[in-house]
Structure 1
Amino acid sequence: MPATPRETFLSLPDEVLQGLAQAHGVDPTRYPNRDSLIEALASLPGAEDLVPEASRRRMAYQLDRLRPRQLRELGERHRVVLHGLKRKADLVEALAGAPDSSEILMELEAEAAPERDATLALGRESDVDFDRVEELLEQARKSFQERRFEAALTAAQEASRLAERTTEQLRRSSWSYAVLAAQALLEPCDPDDPEAATARVLLDRARDAFFRGQREDETLLRDLVRAAEAAHAREADRVRDLLASTRDGIREAANLGASVALAEDSWKRAADFLDRDQLAAAREGFVESANRAGDARRRRIREVEESIGSVADHIEVARNVGADVREAQELHEAAKAAIAAGEHGRAGDLLKRAERLAMKGQQRQIDRAIQLRQAQIEKAQAVLGACEPILKEAESYDLSAAEVRTLLRQARDVLAKGDYLAGLTFAKN
C-alpha cells in the first residue's frame, strides 16, 4: 500500500522537509513546530503528487552526505553499475534511481541514525539535548504554578517533541537494522522453502511498515527476526548436507583414479565460505565442485573404456615378438568383465597391470634380440679376423688375393652398418 503524504513527510529529516516546503511556497518559519509544518504540506492541493519528490529529496539528502568513494562502495554492495561516472551528482542520481533504492535508503538511514543518536544519548551533545528537555519541563512546571498556562503548554509541547524525536530516531535505526539483517539472512535461502516463504511475507510487511512510518508493532519485528533466523538455519543445514555429499562424490571419483584436484580446490573454497556463514557462495562452490568431480569421473570412465583397445594392441605386439602374454590376456579379459559390471575403478587397475605385463614381455624379447644381434656381430667379426692371416699367407705365396680382399672390405662395410648377416656371408665367401 503506498504511503500517504503525511506518512512520507513524517519520515523526512528537518532539512529535507523545510526544503520541500519552500519549493512549494510554504514558509517553514511561519510554523512553530515540525508537526504543524507537516500538516500544512499535507493540506496542500495535490499533496499526493509531492510523495515521489519527497522520496527523491530524502534519498538525495542521505547520498549527498557521502563521499564519492563511499558512493561507489555503496553501489558495489547493491550491484548498481557506476562505471564511467565521475561527478558526485551523477553517482547520486544513479544510486537514487536504482531498482533497490529503498534498500539503499534503509541502509543509509540505519547507519546515519546511530551516529546521530549516539551523540544524543551518549555524547556531549546528549547532555545538552536532555538538559534542554529538563529545562523545558521545569519551565512548564513553573509556568503552570504561576498560572501562565499558555507558556506552560508551549514549553511542555516543545519538551515532548524533543523527547519523541529522539525516541523515533532510535526506533527507526533499530527497525532499519532488523529489516536489513533479516533480508540478508533470507537472501541465500531456497525460495521454495516454506519457512523462508513465511519469513519473506513478514519481511514485506515489516518493510512496508517501516516506510510508512508505522514502527510501533514490535511483535511483527520479533516474529520477522525469529522466522529469518529459522529459515537461515534450515538453509545452513542444507548447505552442510551438500558439503558432505560433494565430498563423497569427490572420493568416488578419486577411487576410480580420476584427477580431482580442481574439484577439491572448489570444495575447500566453498567450505571456507560456509565457515564464514556465506551460504550463497558456499552453495555455488559446492555445486561447482560437484560438477567438476562428475566431469572427472566421466572422463576417467571414458579413459578406462577406451584403454581396452590400446591394451589389447600392446598384448598383440608382445605376442608378435614372441613374448608370453597369457597372464596379460587374462587380466585384460577380467578388466572387460569389470567394465561390464560397472566396476571401472577395478577395471582401470587390471588394465594397468595387463599393459605393464605386455610391455615387460615386449622389452624382454627386445633385449633378447639385441643380445642375439650382438652375438652374431661378434661372430662375424671373429670370422673376419680369422680371414686376415689366411689372406696374408696366400699373398706371401704370390697368390692372387685381390678379389678376397675386396670381399673382406665389403664385409667390414656392411658389418659396420649393422648388417651382420650380409657381413658374415661376405666373410665366408
Structure 2
Amino acid sequence: MLKEFESNILKTDLFNKKHNLLVAVSGGIDSIVLTHLLKNSGFKFSIAHCNFQLRGKESLADEKFCKDLAKKIKIPFYTKAFDTEAYCTKHKTNVQLAARKLRYDWFHELIIEKQFDYVLTAHHANDVIETVFINLLRGTGIKGIKGISEKKGQIIRPLLNFTREQIDAFAKKHTIDFRLDKSNLEDKYERNFIRLNIIPLFKKINPKLEETFIRNTANFRQEAGIVHDYLEEKTTELITQTHDAVFINKKKLKHETYSRSVLHNLISGYGFNDTQQKNILSNLGKDAQSGKIFKSPTHQLIIDRNDLVIKSLSEETFNDKLIASYDELIKQKLFSCKKLAAFKLPKPNELLLDESKLQFPLSIRLKRTGDKFKPFGMKGFKLLSDFLKDEKLSIPKKESCKVLVNGNGDIIWVIGHRSDERYRVNSNKKNILKLKLIE
C-alpha cells in the first residue's frame, strides 16, 4: 500500500516533499493510517485534531491519543475544542454540518497563520460510495454522482483509491493503534445507515463494488466537467446584464436542446424552484403572454417580449465607491475597518492589511471583465472570472461580487472570498488594519 500511495501522489502531482502539509487526524483508523503513510514516505506535515466535545471522556481520550502520537513521531500538533452543540442551536443546523463548518473554518485559519500549502483528509473509496448514495437520495444530479474530488483548492484526499479493507489490512500488518469511535457503529445517522445496511447488500451483488465506483466516479467527474463547461458556455451565450437586471434571451433558450437544464443553471441561484422553472419554460411558446411575473424570496423574473428579465426584489443597487481617505474608509458600510494593536488571525470574512501599502484613493466596485489578481497562497495571477468559477459560486453571487482596489489598480481583496498574495501581512507587522465584511 505504501508504494501505491507514493506512486499515486507522484503520478497525479497531488503534492511533493517541498510542500508544508496539514493532516486532519481524528484518531480513527483512516487518519492514523494516512499519518503513518506520510511519515514513512518522508513528507513534511503537521497534525490538526478537532475536539467537537460530543462524546465526553471519549473525546478527551481521542485528543490525548493524537497528541501522544504526534509527540512520538516528532510531528507538530494543533488542536482546538469546539462547542458543537451550542453552534448547532445558534445556527439551527445538525451535528454533521456544524462539525464540517467548524473544522474547515479552523483549517483555513491554520493555513493562513502557519502558511500550510494543503490540508489532507483521510477520505477513502468507501466514503465515495456513501457520498454517491446520499446524493442520489437527495436528487443532486450529475454533480452528486461524481463523488468526492481528490483535490479541490487546498483540500487533498490522497486515500480515495484505497478501500476500507486495504486500510484495515495495512493497520493490522503494521500493528498500528487507533481509536474506535463507537458512534460509527450506530445507524441513526444517514451515512452510517447506508454504510451499515445498504452497501453490504450491494456487495452481495457486486463484491468489487469499491473498484466499480472508483472507475465510475472518475468517469462521472470528467462528464460533470463537460456539462459544467457546456452550461458556462450557454450562460455567456444567453445572458446579458446591466447594473440592475439580468436578461436571458427567450428565442435562444426556446431553441436550446437542453433548455430545462440550461434554465435551471441560469436561474436556480436566484431562488426559483423546480415548479417555477417548469412554468417559466411552458411560457416561452409563441402564444405565451408577455408580462407574466414569477417571484422567488429574493428576485422576480418577468417574461418580456424578447427576454426573461431578472431583477432583485430590493430596490437598492450597488454603485462604485471612491474612497479618498482613511476616514472615508471607516465610514463606508460594506465592511468595518479598525486598527489592530497586534496581529490577530483573520476569519474567512476578514482581511488584514498593512496600512502603509494603501494608496488612496481606493475604490470598491463590482467585478469587471478582465479583472485579475494573485489569490492568497498562489504564486501566479488568475483571472477573477476563473477564480469565481473555481469557487463554484452561483450566478447571482458571481454578479454581485465586489472588489477592493488600491490606488495603483491592484485588487487587494475579492471581498468576502480571497485576499491578494501581494498584500499578505507578516505576523510581526505593526500598523495593521482589519476589514470585516458586514453580512
Shorter-chain TM-score: which interval? under 0.3
Higher relative contact order (CA 8 A, sep 6+): 2
- Taking structure 1 as the reference length, the TM-score comes to 0.25
- Taking structure 2 as the reference length, the TM-score comes to 0.24
Greater fraction of residues in helix: 1
